[in-house]
Amino acid sequence: MPSPRSYRYRVVDVFTTQPLEGNPLAVFPEASGLDDVTMQKIAREMNLSETVFVVPATRASFAAGVRIFTPTRELPFAGHPTVGSSFVLLDEGIVPEGTKQFVLEEKVGPVAIRVETGRVETGERPLIWLTTPPISYGRMYDRLRCAQALGVAAHDLLDITPQWLSAGNPTIFIALADKRAVDSAWLDSHGLSIGCSHPSTACRRTRPREAPRDLWPPS
């Protein structure tokens, strides 16, 4: 029986400057040799919103391949895992120090990364930007039923028709009027099944009469 192989991993906090805050992410920086089934089992064992496995890219122009798993399935793309794994690649030296731009290979396709270097003397971390994959637009949904599914009143929604959007992860975009409406929203899975017929919903707060510009599906 072959000896078990050990794989090193790191847990990083994304979208924060404080330890133990932000969005936690597990990253396996050297995941070559792990098959899909094992990756999924590890992600389930880690039980974080996402776990990333860094693998060799299929093209020399890509810095690395990135596989993103939730505890239940693989994602073609997600924002905070892309940012977090980019930080680990830089911190581990897999992407050379001082690199300002590079490309990751994800299931959705190539994802461009841009790095703003933090000030060394103050211990600042680099600021990492990604280019969202192209957004595709799908069917529209009934505003009143989507309001019901979120447990909010119809007047809590802006006069923007809810719509299916995807930048790798299909999402229903529902524009709410203000922070209070967003904070009070609570997903009713039964209401969603009869009203929107879609498993994933994103709420975005906008100012009244403002059309949504930066559309970002949840990871």
For the chain, how big is the Rg over CA atoms in Å?
A: 19
pLDDT digits (tens, 9 = 90+) for 110-157: 999 999 987 655 667 889 999 999 999 999 999 999 998 999 999 999
**Band of residue 216 on the pLDDT scale cut at 50, 70, 90:** very low
**Joined tokens for residue 64:** 């690395």
Q: Is 97 a known active-site residue?
A: no
CA distances from 9 to 21, 31, 113, 121 (A): 19, 9, 22, 28
pLDDT of amino acid 202: 56
Q: How far is CA 13 from the centre of its chain?
A: 13
* Cα–Cα distance, 89 to 128 (Å, whole number): 12
* Cα–Cα distance, 57 to 60 (Å, whole number): 7
pLDDT digits (tens, 9 = 90+) for 146-193: 998 999 999 999 999 999 999 888 888 999 999 999 999 988 766 555
pLDDT of amino acid 152: 94
* Cα–Cα distance, 1 to 83 (Å, whole number): 38
pLDDT of amino acid 126: 87
User: Which domains can be identified in the chain, with CATH numbers?
Assistant: 10-130 (3.10.310.10), 136-193 (3.10.310.10)
Contacts for 191 with CB less than 8 Å, ≥ 6 apart = 145, 148, 149, 150, 151
pLDDT digits (tens, 9 = 90+) for 38-81: 999 999 999 999 999 999 999 999 999 999 999 999 999 999 99
Tell me which of 21, 50, 116, 121 is the catalytic residue. 50
Instruction: Please say if the pLDDT value at position 195 is more than 90.
Output: no
